[in-house]
Structure 1
C-alpha cells in the first residue's frame, strides 16, 4: 500500500489533436486498475476514457461443487481489504439458504464488527490515501495558486478542529510528516482492534458463521469495544468540520470544480446493519426486513428514490458482458427460472450466470477488461448504477427513505441527522448530511461530494455502533448470551445475501443442488463502479465520471499529473481485487518512466 501518485504515460497525439494519456496502475491499494484517456488540452477537458482491470479471479468457477458451509471462509479471501464484508454477505446468503435465524446477540455482534470495519476502512482511505490528493505537497505541484490562497484563508470551523487556515489542513495531510495523517494511522489501529474484538481477526473473521457467531459475549468484551468507540466519536467531532472546510474551499478556490468527476445521479445501495427484531433472512419476507435495516436499501435515479424493495433490487440485476474478456452463456444451463416468490428470473441475473473466460489482447474498440458490466434494469433501461464510493449512495438512499429513526441517527426524507454524545473533551454534537445540489438546484454526484459523504458516514457508523452496543449489552444483562443457532444444509436451495461493502453494494447469489454449491456469484462494488462499456455501449461509472471532467491542474507537458482525473476515480474508493490470471500478448512497452518525485512514484 502506498500513498504516492503514479505519473501518466503519454503515447502522443491522435488524428483529432487529442492527447492520449494513461495511468496504469493508479490505485494506491492494488495495482490492477488502469485509466486510459484522450484529453483535449485546448478545451481543458477529458474527451474520452476507458477503465481497465488486469485481473481475473475466477471465484465463481472454483466455488462450484464446494460445501456451502465453506462459502464465507473462501469468499472472504476475495479481498485483503474488505474480506469481512464478503464473509458477512456470504453468511447472510447461507442463512437464507439454510432457513436459519441467528440469535439477536449474534446479529448485534456482526453489526458491531461491520460498523468497526466502516470506521477503519473509511478512515484510512480518506486520510491516508484520498487525503494525499488534497495535501500541501500535491497542491503545491499541481495548483500553486490554490495553495497561496489556502494559506491566506481562515478555516470557518478552526475552533472545532484546531487548524487555523486551509493551508494548515493541507499541511496536516502531507504523507508521513503531516500530524493529522499520522493520527489517522493510529485511529486505523484501534478501529481494527474493535473489529477483532467482535469477530476474532481482521480481515478474514474467524468467529463468523451461518447461524450467528462463535464470539464469547461478555460485559468486558463490549466495554473494550466501547472505550475505543468513544475515542473514535471524539475524533469524528474534529474530522467532519475539518473536511467540510477543505472541500468547501476547493469549490471556492476553483470555480466550476463541481464538474470534476460529475455524472448523472444513478446510485445503488443494498442496505446494511440488519435489525434482528425484524430480519428472519427469508426471501419471502425480504421486502419488509430489508426496509428495517439501519442503512436503508434503495436505488436513486436523478435524485429520486425509485425503490427500496430488496426483491425488486434483486430481480432487476443484470450482468452484461459488452467489452469484457468473457464468452456469453446463452447456450449454458439455466439455474433459476423463478425466485421463491414465483417472479420470473432473467437469463442475465447472477443466479443464471456462467463465467467463461476468453483472454485476448486489449482492444478499446472491442474487448479491453476483465471487469463485467453489472446493470440494473428498470423495465426500460439498463442503468449503470454507481455506489458513490459507498457512503454517497448509502446516505442518499437512507435520507430519502426516511425510515431510520433511533436516538443517534434520524433520516428526515431529505437529510440524515447524526447525533454524537458527550465525550471526554467535547460536548454533544449533531451533524446533518444534506442531499447535495449544485448552484442551479440540480442533484449533485461528483468527486467532492463522494469524499464528503465518506466523512459523514464515518460519523454515521459510529452513531449506529453506539446503538448496537446498547442492544448487545441489554441481551447479555438479560441472560440472553446465546450467539449461534444450529442449522441443516438442504439438498436444494436458492438464496441471496445483501449488504454494503465499504465501497458500496455487495450481493452474493447461490444455488445449491445435491447439498453442494451448483452456482455462486459474488457481486461487490468494484464491477459496478469499474465496469466497462456494456453490450449497449454504455460506459461504466469510472469511465463516465472521467469523460468530460474539466482540467484545473496548472502544470502541463511532462509535469502534468492528471490530479483532477485521479480525484474523480479515487472518489469512488477503487479497490480491484474483487474484479489472477494474467494475459500477456505479443506487444511491447511503449514507454517506461521512473519519476524523481516521491509524489510521482508508485
Structure 2
C-alpha cells in the first residue's frame, strides 16, 4: 500500500484538508487506486475518486471467435472468479443455442458455484478483510479500541471459543492468528470441492453449453459431501465470531455505522438455477429467474423494485462519464428489440462498441478505464449507480424481501430475513442462523453478510447434493445435451460472481461472435462519475465517511477508508489484454499486490 500525502493551503483548499491516495489499495490485484481529500478538522473524507489502470479488451478480441469458445476465453478475464465468467457464458450460450442441460448437469454446476462462493468468501473474509480488524491493525490505528476489546467478553464465546473481543482480534493476525490459519486450511477443502465438480480451479475444464462433462457417481458426491460437512461445522464458529466482532465496533465507536454508508441501491442478478424450471428461453426468463435459489432483484431504499430478469436486462445502460472511451452513438446497432419485442437502447451491452481512447488522467474530466454501468429506473427516470454490497449483502437483501426461496428445510426467505439451517455435524448440534435486513448499507454490514452467505452457500450445496443423488438413484445420469450453433442468434446470461452481479451479452452473426460484452461486479462497484455527475459506489461510500482512526495526518493509515473499499470485495484482473490487430496481442502483467505493510 502506497500512501501519498499532499498539503495545500489555498483559499479553495484550507490547510486542514489533506490530499491522500492509496494506489494500489487492494490485497488481491494492484490496479485499483483511491484518491481522496480528507478534512482532519471535521474528521471526514470530503472527496473521493476511484481509478483503474486496467483496460479490458475482451469485448474487442471476442469478435469473430467461435461462440463455443466463449466460456473458455472469458474465464481468463479473472484469475480469481474465472469460473463465474465461464458459468455465465455457458448460460448465455444455452440461450443462444436453445439448449437445456439435463437436470443432473445443472445440479453439478450449482455445486461447483456453491463451492466457489464458499472458497472465495472464506479466504477474502478471514485472510484479507480480517486483517483490517486484527489486533496488529487495531493497535496501530485505534489503541483505545483495543484496550476496550481486552476488557469486553465475547457474547458467543461458547460457539467460537474466544473469551474476549481482543482474543478474536488476535486470532485474525496474519500468519500467527489461529483462526487466520484455520481459514487457510478450510480454503483448501473448498477448492477441492470445486475441482470435484468442475475439474479445475479457477478455469473450469468440464463446463460446456448444454451441461457438464463431469462423470457423475455416488462416490463423487460422497467426496464432496465429506468436505462440505467439515465446512458446515466451521460455519457454526464463523458466524458467531463475526457477529461479536462487528457488533463490538458499533459499541466501541458510536457513529461507526456511517463508515462506508450509502443509500440502499442494491443489484442482484440471481444465482443457482432450478433445473425443474429453467429452460434458458428468454421469453420465460422472468419465470425461471424467480425460481433461482438466490432471487434476482433491485432494491432502492429497502423497496424491492423488481425481481424480473427481463426488467433488469432492459434497464442496463453503459455510460462513459469520466472514463477513457469514445461514445459509440454513431456505430452500428446490433439488436433493435429483444425476443419479447421490447426496444433495446443504444447504450445497452448488446449494442455497445468499445472504442478505447488512452489519455492522461485528469480528475476534472477523465480518470479511469472503468466505465459507468447504470440501471435506468423507469419510475424516476434516474440512472442508478447500483452496488452489489460486495455480493452477499445484495443477494441476501433481495432474497429476503422477495420471500420466495424455500429449500427443503435448509433455507427460508421470510420477507424481512433469511433463515439458514445447518444440520448436526461431528462435534456440533444443528444450528439455525437468521440474517435480518440491517438498518444500513455500510462497511460492517457488507462484511457481516459475507459470513452469512458462506452458510447460505453451504445450505444450498446440501440441498443440491440431495437432488443430484436422487437423479443418480433414479438412473438419470446424463449430464450434457447436444446442440447446434445457429447462424444468427442473441443470448444473455445472468449470474452472481463472488463479488456481485455478472452478465454476459452475445450477438452471433454468420455462426461467429459479432458482439460480446461481459459485465462483472467491478465495473458496477468501481465505476466513475457518469455523464450526470453521479459518483460510483466506491466513490460514494468513501465520500463523507467519518474518520475514527486515532492517528493524525503524519501517521495516517486510512483504516476506515480501507474497511470501506474492502467491504465491497474489490478485485480487478491481474493483466492488461489489448488487441492490436490480426494475430497480434500485447499482454502487460501486473504482479499481485498484498497491500504492503499492515
Given the alignment of the two structures, is residue 11 of structure 1 paired with residue 10 of structure 2, yes or no?
A: no
Task: Pick the aligned partner of 1:523 from 519, 523, 526.
Answer: 519
Q: Deviation of residue 14 (structure 1)?
A: 5.2
5 Å matches for 1:173-322?
A: 173-322=172-321
Distance 1:14 1:571, change over 3 A: farther
Question: Does the aligned pair in 1 maintain the 2:79–2:574 contact within 8 Å?
Answer: no
Q: Which residue is equivalent to 2:581?
A: none
Structure 1 residue 580 displacement after superposition: 1.3
TM-score (norm 1): 0.95
1:539 aligns with: 535
Give, in whole Å, the separation in 2 of the partners of 1:84 and 1:558.
43
- Deviation digits for residues 190-224 of structure 1 (CA, Å, limit 9, x no counterpart): 10000000010000000000000000000000000
Deviation at 1:557, TM superposition (A): 2.7
Please give the TM-score of this superposition, normalised by the length of structure 2.
0.95
Trace 1:542-557 onto structure 2 (pairs within 5 A). 542-557=538-553
CA distance in 1, matches of 2:350, 2:6: 42
Partner of 2:560: 564
SS of the residue corresponding to residue 360 of structure 2 reads coil
SS at match of 2:239: helix
Q: Distance in 2 between matches of 1:581 and 1:104?
A: 36
Aligned partner of 1:511 in structure 2 is 507
- Counterparts of 2:182 and 2:428, CA distance in 1: 18
**Following superposition of structure 1 onto structure 2, how do residues 375-454 of structure 1 map, counting pairs within 5 Å?**
375-379=374-378, 380-406=381-407, 407-437=409-439, 444-454=440-450
Quote the Cα distance in structure 1 between the aligned partners of 2:292 and 2:469.
20
Contact 1:138 1:599 in 2 (8 A): no
RMSD value, Cα: 1.1
Displacement of 1:599: 8.0
Contact 2:93–2:209, Cα closer than 8 Å, also in 1: yes
d(CA) in 1 for partners of 2:195 and 2:8? 52
Distance 1:222 1:506 in 2: 28
Extract unaligned runs of 5+ from structure 1.
Answer: 1-5, 438-443, 583-597
Q: Does 1:62 align with 2:61?
A: yes
1:164-214 residue CA offsets vs partner (Å, 9 max, x unmatched):
000000000000000000000000001000000001000000000000000
SS class of match (1:416):
strand
Q: How far off is 1:538 after superposition?
A: 0.3
SS of equivalent residue, structure 1 residue 268: strand
Residue 60 to residue 415, structure 1, CA distance change in 2 (3 Å): same
Contact 2:293/2:405, CA 8 A, preserved across alignment = yes
Looking at structure 2, the residues matched to 45 and 26 of structure 1 have their Cα atoms a distance apart, in angstroms, of 19
Mapping 1:333-412, distance limit 5 Å: 333-379=332-378, 380-406=381-407, 407-412=409-414
Kindly state the Cα deviation for residue 7 of structure 1 after the two structures are TM-superposed. Answer: 4.3
Residue aligned with 2:452, SS: helix
Aligned partners of 2:376 and 2:382 also within 8 Å: yes
Contact 2:58–2:577 (8 Å) recurs in 1: no
CA contact (8 A) 1:527 1:579 kept: no
Q: Is the 8 A contact 1:384 1:538 kept in 2?
A: yes
Q: Distance in 1 between matches of 2:394 and 2:303?
A: 12
Counterpart-to-counterpart distance in 1, 2:81 and 2:281: 25
Distance in 1 (CA, whole Å) between partners of 2:9 and 2:24 is 22
Measure, in 2, the Cα distance between the counterparts of 1:378 and 1:250. 35
**In structure 1, what is the Cα distance between the partners aligned to 2:306 and 2:575?**
27
Given that 1:14 and 1:20 are in contact with CA atoms closer than 8 Å, whether structure 2 keeps it comes out as: no
The one of 446, 452, 456 aligned to 1:456: 452
Whole-Å separation in 2 of the counterparts to 1:68 and 1:131: 40
**Correspondences of 1:132-211 after superposition (within 5 Å):** 132-211=131-210
Q: Offset at 1:600?
A: 5.0
User: Would the aligned equivalents of 1:524 and 1:578 in 2 still touch at CA under 8 Å?
Assistant: no
1:580 counterpart SS class: strand
Instruction: Please tell me whether residue 467 in structure 1 is matched to residue 468 in structure 2.
Output: no
Q: Secondary structure at the match of 2:230?
A: helix
Query: Any idea what the Cα deviations from partners look like across 1:524-549, whole Å, max 9, x if unmatched?
Result: 00000000000100000000000000
Instruction: State the Cα deviation string for residues 95-147 of structure 1 (Å, max 9, x = none).
Output: 00000000000000000000000000000000000000000000000000000
Q: Is contact 2:37-2:47 (8 Å) kept? A: yes
Distance (Å, rounded) in 2 between the aligned partners of 1:56 and 1:516? 24
Structure 2 gaps of 5+ residues are: 579-593
CA 1:338 to 1:164, structure 2 compared with 1: closer, same or farther past 3 Å? Answer: same
The equivalent of 2:20 in structure 1 is 21
**Structure 1 position 13, deviation (Å):** 2.5
Please report how far the alpha carbon of residue 578 of structure 1 lies from its aligned counterpart in structure 2 after TM superposition: 8.5
